[in-house]
Amino acid sequence: VLEELTLEAPLVLPEQGGVQVQLSVEAADESGRRPVSLHSRPEDASGEELWTRHATGLLAPSAVAGSPASFELGEWPPAGAVEVAVDDLY
């Protein structure tokens, strides 16, 4: 279960060419949680080109993160959701 997620930078895909993407999952700590990170770099990058970190997070065993029964997948939008106008964003 993804317990935490911090988005740090957008992952922009080029019109031409590809992107190398790397998802790293580290060893579990004593509570069973595992740090994760998502990095990318251009497909044609040299071995010396730095990776860009886009996100970090924490994976937890499902028993630690709480019961998934508290979220009803059939209910959309979720109770208490507020509609946001997005016309001016595009």
- pLDDT tens readout for residues 45-63: 887 889 999 999 999 988 6
Q: Are 6 and 37 in contact (CB under 8 A)?
A: no
pLDDT over 90 for what percent of the chain? 56
Q: How many C-beta neighbours within 10 Å does residue 86 have? A: 7
**Statement: residue 77 has pLDDT above 90:** no
Q: Are 27 and 34 in contact (CB under 8 A)?
A: yes
Band of residue 71 on the pLDDT scale cut at 50, 70, 90 = low
**Domains of the chain by residue range:** 2-64
- pTM, two decimals, is 0.67
**Statement: residue 40 has pLDDT above 70:** yes
pLDDT over 70 for what percent of the chain? 87
Band of residue 4 on the pLDDT scale cut at 50, 70, 90 = very high
Phi-psi region of 3 (alpha: psi -120 to 50; beta: other; left: phi over 0): alpha
Backbone phi, then psi, for 27, in 5-degree steps? -65, 150
